[in-house]
Structure 1
Amino acid sequence: MTTGGVTKAGRREWLGLAVLALPTFLVSFDIFVLLLALPQLSADLGADGNEQLWIMDIYGFTLAGFLLTMGTLGDRIGRRKLLLIGATVFGIASVTAAFATSPGLLIAARAVLGIAGATLAPSTLALISTMFRDDKQRASAIGIWGGMFTLGAIIGPVLGGVMLEAFWWGSVFLLGVPAMVLLLAVGPAVLPEFRDTKAGRADALSVVLSLAGILPLIYGIKELARTGWEPLPLASLVAGLVFGTLFLRRQRRLSDPLVDLKLFSNGAFSVTLGSLLTYSLVGGATMLFASQFFQLVGGLSTLRSGLAMLPGMAAATVAFAITPAIAAKVRPAYLISGGMVGTAICMVVFTQATSVTTLVVGFAVFSFCGAPLVALGTNLVIANAPMEKAGSAGSLAQMCNEFGSALGIAVVGTVGSAVYRHQIHDAIPAGVPAAITEAARDSLAGAGAAVAGAPERLRTAVLSPAQEAFTASLHAVTGIGAVLLAGVAVLIAAKLRHVPPVGQEEPGPAKAPVAQEPSDAPVPETARV
């Protein structure tokens, strides 16, 4: 069906979207389900503390590191081809992880899972841009795409908990295998192929420089958040910045770069990416401190702390579903900035929060209000990039999410830690043993560990001021978040106010027809079975 010169998606495209939902769901599912399996697999494999950290982190490292490369690679070799290759590797790596016999093998399998996962999000976003040329349909499709991430986060802990009750820890890795088999079986029949026929070969040095820049940056940021200002994470940050600068300089010189920096000359594109980065930064830091508050102040178990986040995930899923319909009547600038005002208000409320209930309800409102930015922002990023660059644009949107969360935990989290240490420094009563005092001054978790098994009077004397100090640090973190999100609201309202509602065009003077030159734009290569 063709409307206004644009061919609307039909049954085949919507069926294709259902197929694309499978890998989208699994990317977030795989992260959350491992949180529950970690204690069992660590005991079974004999993983020490350092190995446990690598089991958790290596997936995110390789996922972030390869996003740019995979987004551009899909544009060059074919988005469907890359998606199916990634699905195959993801399935094989999942089976390997499930039956791993040592921490080293599991870490290696998780690394490969991250590389395969890096093919999924850019490929699915780029294929959505190919399949849904109508603005309203594309906005709805991306809303569904975004909702699948949060749905994976909701179902992951619940289904993972059920599997761990009935089977061994490796069973959680096998959950994604049937989905990947279904994708491989049905994908070639319902997904179109698209590649940029004008693109040259990927520049190998650019790929190396991108990895040399991104991986040390992610590692350094995470380690700074975990250990503080130690020499190794600082050196890693410096190395990442140096290689990142060399990468950008090379992209400016290449006629066919790995990342086309000209995309950032589009105001809507660059402003939206910056907003996504900031929202992810605030969300990452807030979730870190809120989850710790649930456990260390509220006294919830790890599982119950994860379940406390579910109302927020559910609220985001609902918001993703209804945002496209509202965006057809309301300008994105006003819808997104209104949502950001809502998130900023939530942050202000959090600066006074002292109970688990306030945080659970507030996080649900925060997630609901933030969904328009993620859904419409991702749509704006894709819509403002040429069709042949959709994979690269999609990878940049995902990179903002990865970097934003890591930056929030490291930078804003460091501020929160400093507030905690300042508040606790003179709050421990005299007479408490020096070793316990030092542990309490380091962190609330350290305070809890130091007084485990101690008399009730000593526990109260240490934990009460430590919990108050941690609550103050939560207030500081959310106060920073309120300021940042209010700034995003103003920026979006000012810079994107010219963007019409989804599916509408700005009224303007009638223009005389202009003779069209033959187009050099790449043509989709569609394969039907």
Structure 2
Amino acid sequence: MQRSPGIKAWLGLTVILGPVLLVAMDGSILFLAMPRITDALAPTADQSLWILDIYGFAVGSLLVAFGNIGDRYGRLKLLLIGTLLFGLASAGAAMSPNAEMLIAFRALMGMAGATLLPSALAVLSELFTDPRRRAQAIGIFASAFAAGFAIGPIVGGQLLSYFWWGSVFLVNIPVIVLFLIFAPILLGEVKVTRPGRVDVLSVVLSAVGLLLAIYAVKNLAAEGMSVFSAAAGIVGLVILVAFARRQRHLEYPLIDFGLFRDRVFTIAIITGLLPLAAWSATAYLSGVYLQTVLEMTVFQAAMLAVPGALVLTATCIVTPMVVGRIGTRAALITCHFAITAGLLLFLMTGVTSGAGWYVGAMIVAGLGYGISFAVVADVAVAAVSTERAGSAAAMAETSNEIGNALGIALLGSLAALIFRIMGPDLAPTLNETAELPGLGSAALSEAKSAFVTGLHAVVIVAASVHAGLGVLALRWLPKTDPQAPEEGEGTADAGPVAPKTEEVGTA
């Protein structure tokens, strides 16, 4: 009953990749732009982190809800509305007169981005019904998503070499216009009837709980312990527990926690979360390191990111073909140990030199990041029936987006805390310290040293987590992926996770 996709399906995939690239790119495009934004808008240390974080939090908090909405009410309709809103919010962000307005428009961009990813991946899974072709298409989708994260700082750096800081948002507009023109032509409306309504209370609980918990961590790092931040953290955790408990009793939950009974699915979703946390934190801190510690131009810093971005993107493309031969287990293990090795290379960076070690670290870690992007998406889509493709895709993308936001919030806050403790105590961030009038060379050297110490602490923590996950995958996952050609034609060639479809879907 499976048919080969025609030219319209591949053209449809090309159209879908536009907004996917933008949503991913806007998660990282500010890494090199933040020093310029700091000069223009003078945000506080806390506001700087929110400018970076709020986008990922908004996307991650609402992905599951919008995945369910698309499944019920129409995915193309949601894609078009979300893309239009994304464009309007991008224009607003570019014209923001102060940090507060920029944070608000970044939040609106995140809300719009949450409508795009799950519906785009669900539409893709229906354009390509053959498991093998679907795996190839998802590999391309994952490559675009990974490329967006990887080239975001590069694009931002290039734009800032010629234009003002708002140009990093206006670059979205041409792609959005093209999508709004061609999507109605190449993508038909896909509406899968699912009973039940989206549980609004679950949406509110997940979003509010996450924001409160992360705010507590960020405030602790930036300002130290306070009654308010401690209370916010406790309330946030209680709300998240209530959300999880509520899902167990809903007939149509936003998150089907039963899927996590499958070990491969569980490790894959964790693999979607943590590599993005490590990548986003190190990419952001590295941008500051290259520009402020090593005193490079934004263009020079952007060019140093190119080799790692190329490796990451190429790995995404190759992974579906390789995983079809070596299995999901081997891919997941390789992913975590490659990231561990790459992160540890950051320990060789110093106050006066380290650009070469940065490039090497991003290349080695890029292998692991690329595997994580490619494997997680296909596992999620293959794990469920067609009518749940949007919500399953949302789980995969949620792990990516929350990982991106958590990396900056948690690991970035760790770096900020160490700088606050070990720095010269003249300003809360390295950039603000470096711009103080009359700053002596000794104080600047102390500030740079404190920042590098914070960077090293972050990579040690992230590398330790990935090493632990690699060991867990090595011990926990079955040594061979189940291969069952008798369950359906083409199963053996279905790609990295097609053999798991029926097993996971009935967990």
Mapped to 2, the partners of 1:352 and 1:191 lie a distance apart of 49
Describe the SS at the equivalent of 1:7: coil
Alignment partner of 1:86 out of 73, 82, 85: 82
Q: Residue 144 of structure 2 is aligned with which of 148, 151, 164?
A: 148
Q: Is the partner of 1:300 in helix, strand or coil?
A: coil
Choose from 51, 63, 66 the match for 1:67.
63
The Cα offsets for residues 374-414 of structure 1, whole Å up to 9 and x where unpaired, read as 21122112211232222222222222223333434444455
What residue in structure 1 maps to residue 360 of structure 2? 361
After TM superposition, the structure 1 = structure 2 runs for residues 182-331 of structure 1, keeping only pairs within 5 Å, are 182-331=178-327
Partner secondary structure for residue 325 of structure 2: coil
CA positional deviation for 1:109: 3.4
Residue in 1 that maps onto 2:463: 482
Contact 1:61/1:219 (<8 A) preserved: no
Cα separation, 1, equivalents of 2:286 and 2:154: 20
**How has the CA–CA distance of structure 1 residues 87 and 217 changed in structure 2, closer, same or farther, with 3 Å as cutoff?**
same
The alpha-carbon deviation at position 38 of structure 1 amounts to 6.2
Distance in structure 1 (CA, Å) of the matches to 2:295 and 2:37: 25
Q: Which runs of 5+ in 1 are unaligned?
A: 426-436, 511-529
- Residues 462-471 or 244-253, more deviating: 462-471
Alignment partners' CA distance in 2, 1:203 and 1:339: 35
Within 1, Cα distance between the matches of 2:207 and 2:377? 24
User: 1:213·1:243 contact (CA, 8 Å) conserved in 2?
Assistant: yes
Give 1:506's aligned residue: 484
Structure 2: state its 5+ residue gaps. 489-507
Residue 381 of structure 2 corresponds to which residue in structure 1?
382
Question: Partner letter of residue 361 of structure 2?
Answer: G
Shift of 1:146: 2.0
The Cα shift of 1:482 comes to 2.7
Q: CA deviation at 1:40?
A: 6.9
CA displacement at 1:448 relative to structure 2: 3.9
What value does the CA root-mean-square deviation take over the aligned residues?
3.4
Give, in whole Å, the separation in 1 of the partners of 2:29 and 2:485. 49
Q: Is the 8 A contact 1:64 1:214 kept in 2?
A: no
Distance 1:311 1:207, change over 3 A: same
Structure 1 SS opposite 2:326:
coil
Superposed, which structure 2 residues align to 1:62-141 within 5 Å? 62-99=58-95, 106-141=102-137
Moved more, 311-320 or 463-472: 463-472
Quickly say closer, same or farther: Cα 1:404–1:257, change in 2 above 3 A.
same
**Residues 472/54 of structure 1: CA separation in 2 closer, same or farther (3 Å cut):** closer
Superposed CA offset, 1:130-187 (max 9, x none): 2223333222222221222343345545555565566665554333233223222222
Answer with 228-237 or 196-205: which moved more: 228-237
Q: Rg: which structure is higher?
A: 1
8 A contact 1:268–1:495 mirrored in 2: no
Partner of 1:14: 10
Whole-angstrom CA distance in 1 between matches of 2:446 and 2:167: 42
Aligned-residue offset at 1:270: 1.6
TM-aligned CA distance change 1:407 to 1:6, over 3 Å: same
In structure 2, what is the Cα distance between the partners aligned to 1:97 and 1:344? 36
Would the alpha carbon gap of residues 90 and 160 (structure 1) be closer, same or farther in structure 2, given more than 3 Å must change? same
Contact 2:64 2:255 (C-alpha < 8 Å) held by counterparts: yes
State the SS of the aligned residue for 1:351: helix
Contact 2:340 2:467 in 1 (8 A): yes
TM-score, normalised to structure 2, is 0.83
In structure 1, distance between residues paired with 2:18 and 2:92: 20
Identity, % of aligned positions: 36
Q: 1:55 to 1:297 in 2, by over 3 A?
A: closer
State the Cα distance separating 1:489 from its structure 2 match: 2.0
Q: Which moved more, 1:206-215 or 1:33-42?
A: 33-42
Question: Aligned pair in 2 of structure 1 residues 225, 389: CA closer, same or farther (>3 Å)?
Answer: farther
Distance 1:454 1:314, change over 3 A: same
- 2:426 is matched with which residue: 419, 428, 439? 439
CA distance in 2 between counterparts of 1:387 and 1:478 reads 39
For the residues of structure 2 that align with 1:98 and 1:298, how far apart are their CA atoms? 28
Letter in 2 for 1:506: A
State the one-letter code of the partner of 2:197: R
CA deviation after TM superposition for structure 1 residue 119, in Å:
0.7
Which segment drifts farther, 33-42 or 132-141? Answer: 33-42
Residues 23-64 of structure 1, C-alpha deviation per residue, up to 9 Å, x if partnerless?
0111133344456666777777x6654766655544333222
The residue type equivalent to 2:404 in the other structure is S
**Stretch deviating more after TM superposition (294-303 or 321-330):** 294-303
Query: Is the 8 Å Cα contact of residues 333 and 497 (structure 1) preserved in structure 2?
Result: yes
2:23 — aligned with what? 27
Larger displacement relative to structure 2 (177-186 or 246-255): 177-186
- Kept in 2, the 8 Å contact 1:500–1:506? The answer is no
1:159 and 1:482 map into 2 onto residues whose CA distance is 27
Q: Which moved more, 1:349-358 or 1:72-81?
A: 349-358
Letter in 2 for 1:479: I
Q: Is the 8 A contact 1:444 1:466 kept in 2?
A: yes
Distance change in 2, residues 1:236/1:183 (3 Å): same
- 1:496 Cα deviation from its structure 2 partner: 4.0
CA distance in 2, matches of 1:53, 1:343: 24
Offset at residue 334 of structure 1 (A): 1.1
Q: Give me the TM-score of the superposition, normalised by structure 1.
A: 0.80
